[in-house]
Amino acid sequence: MSDIIETLGRSRIQHGTFNNRVYLMKLSRGDLPEILPRLNRLARTRNYGKIFAKVPESAKDCFARDGYVAEAAIPNFYRGREDVLFFGKYLKEDRRLEKKKDLVKKVLSAAKAKAGEGKVLQLGELFHARAADEEDTTSMAEVYGKVFATYPFPIQDPDYLKTTMDRNVAYFGIWHGDRLAALSSAEMDLPGQNAEMTDFATLPEYRGQGLANFLLAGMEEYLSGKGIKTSYTIARAYSFGMNITFAKLGYAFSGTLTNNTNIFGGLESMNVWHKPIQASAPS
């Protein structure tokens, strides 16, 4: 069962035992400073191991004074002007400790060695790519269910996918004939002019063909026409493939979120990568 998304004051949070955390997804600045003890109370009452917070730079001192540690940052995140910080507050010592330090280092080393090498491959004759729509949600959910043993949001549910499509999430797919082979999404904050590149999934039999690379480049082109100025991802720190994909296409690494997300069957650390998006030229 996935964690719930609700409001705390005017801010949006996600929390639950699935990820064993509170996630401050969007801070309403009018909720400061009262939201800090409310987050603490919620986390301690539910016995969660971590509070994870996405915070504008202008609010960082409030969180730092309350025991939060900045784990990653993205410059010019809000409207190309204000930075964002990803804060972690650990309520249990075992949650703070990275259990796979060597693997995290190896993944980052491999990704950085490939930085800027990305060439977008052309799709084979039997493949075609397009934006996904509501009629595709059943096959999309099936792909996500096959690729991910667990995921922090219920993307294996067609109804959830339909709901997110109405909330500025754009999905893109690659089909092999009539079969959906690979997927990704761009979760857009249009007022903030940023977008998270996420939900990448390629069926095992289609891996190694550059499909994620093709999807990422296509999403960047799409976002450039939407006024998006910054794109970013929160990628599995234990995954060579996804970290290399983002490094190849010019994304910069900015930090690791330790033991942050229940994905791929267990709690994993996540790497933050980011890139400025150039506005498309007017037609």
Q: What is the pTM of this model?
A: 0.94
Least Cα distance to 211 among 128, 111, 155, 103 occurs for 128
Q: Cα–Cα distance between 283 and 278 in angstroms, integer?
A: 15
Q: Quick one: pLDDT at residue 283?
A: 45
* CB count in 10 Å sphere of residue 131: 13
Q: Quick one: pLDDT at residue 23?
A: 98
Q: Could you tell me the sign of the dihedral formed by the alpha carbons of 194, 199, 203, 208, in that order?
A: positive
158 dihedral zone (left: phi>0; alpha: psi -120 to 50; beta): alpha
Q: Cα–Cα distance between 143 and 136 in angstroms, integer?
A: 11
Ordered structural domains, the chain, with CATH:
4-96 (3.40.630.30), 101-276 (3.40.630.30)
Least Cα distance to 54 among 16, 84, 79 occurs for 84
* CB count in 10 Å sphere of residue 279: 12
Q: Quick one: pLDDT at residue 117?
A: 81
What residues contact 57, with CB distance under 8 A and at least 6 apart?
82, 83, 84, 85
Q: Residue 172, SS3? A: strand
CB 273 within 8 A of CB 233: yes
Tell me the average confidence (pLDDT) per consecutive run of 10 residues in the chain, 283 residues long. Answer: 92 97 97 98 98 98 98 97 98 96 98 87 90 98 95 95 96 97 97 97 95 96 96 97 95 98 95 90 48
CB 254 within 8 A of CB 70: no
